[in-house]
Amino acid sequence: MARLCEGRVAIVTGAGRGIGREHALSLARHGAKVVVNDLGGDVNGEGGDLSPAQTVVEEIIAMGGEAVVNGDNVADFDGAGRLIAQAIDTFGDLHAVVNNAGILRDRMLVNMTEAEWDAVINVHLKGTFAPARHAVGFWRDRSKAGDAVSGRIINTSSVSGIYGNPGQTNYGAAKAGIAAFTVIAALEMARYGVTVNAVAPVALTRMTENLGPAPETPEEADMRSPRWIAPIVTWLASEESSGVTGRVFEASGEFLAVAEGWVRGPSTSPIDDPEALGPIVETLMAKARLNSGMNGVPGGPPQPQAGG
């Protein structure tokens, strides 16, 4: 029996460690040829080391798969173009781009620097746009040439972005932007045979190990393993997912869920007198659901504050 992603070509950014590593290995186990992209920097985005990505490539080759390393910066538009070109030049095609690369510069808003804001927005938001832009250009040209296209963009959002977490205005804004990018790009790219989805993962990695208490039992550690995120990403990269686009999936060792986006809540006729709005807004607020906490439940608790 053919594997889920047999013969498909996939790129995974930030694939040297953590969640990205699990994505790359899972895609390879299911038959994909994988470009393993990673600069090899620390969680702040500083430094560089291609050896983690090379190790993942060696693991894939050892299991009988095909993979190559890419060390381009996905937040650099030309670098992202080289990444897409490498996949096509090496394996002859491209079917899926998993935008996973990310960094953290957590800080309360009152203390956040411009550099901390810019770095996080650049890596997450531009680092999603740039590879996606080059990939969809390739797929659009293929579609216009009359070729059948089965393209997949799979982005990485976060519960910090779609629900909100104190201490992460930069990271949360980027991740909320990625969720919106996903919805809009899905609408634009459907005509070309391309789906665009996102995952909002919850897992214990280098980026999250200081944001909460450490696991106390092996069972808890397994529940927080990044391995639980890879199955939905692998499925979304496959041919089977062609009917699913524009959605954000929450994934963890506790559950798999579809995150539902903004909806219009209680409403009233327009008011042209601001002095009359007090009791009207009070009535609307009484009818409206509370914002969801980090657990996805309206009125639920936020996570402990990150940063200083």
Which DSSP state fits 229? T
Structure tokens at 28: 């390879």
* Cα–Cα distance, 235 to 67 (Å, whole number): 19
Taking a C-beta distance cutoff of 8 angstroms, is the pair 63, 120 a contact?
no
* CA pair distance 55, 69, nearest whole angstrom: 9
Pairing of strands 256-259, 248-251: antiparallel
Tokens of 4: 């889920």
**Active-site residue among 91, 117, 163, 171?**
171
Encoded tokens for 56? 């993942």
Task: Look up 171 and say whether it is catalytic.
Answer: yes
Q: How far is CA 224 from CA 47, 87, 205, 237, 297, in A?
A: 27, 31, 9, 23, 20
* C-beta separation of 151 from 194 below 8 A: yes
Contacts by 203-208 with C-beta closer than 8 Å and gap 24+? 203/18, 203/19, 203/228, 203/229, 203/252, 203/253, 205/17, 205/18, 205/19, 206/17, 206/18, 206/42, 206/43, 207/18, 207/43, 207/102, 207/103, 207/104
Comparing CA positions, the residue from 291, 266, 290 lying closest to residue 280 is 266
Q: In the structure encoding, which two tokens stand for residue 225, read together?
A: 């393993």
Asked whether 253 and 205 are in contact (CB, 8 A), the reply is no
Q: How far apart are CA 46 and CA 62, in angstroms?
A: 30
Positions marked catalytic: 171
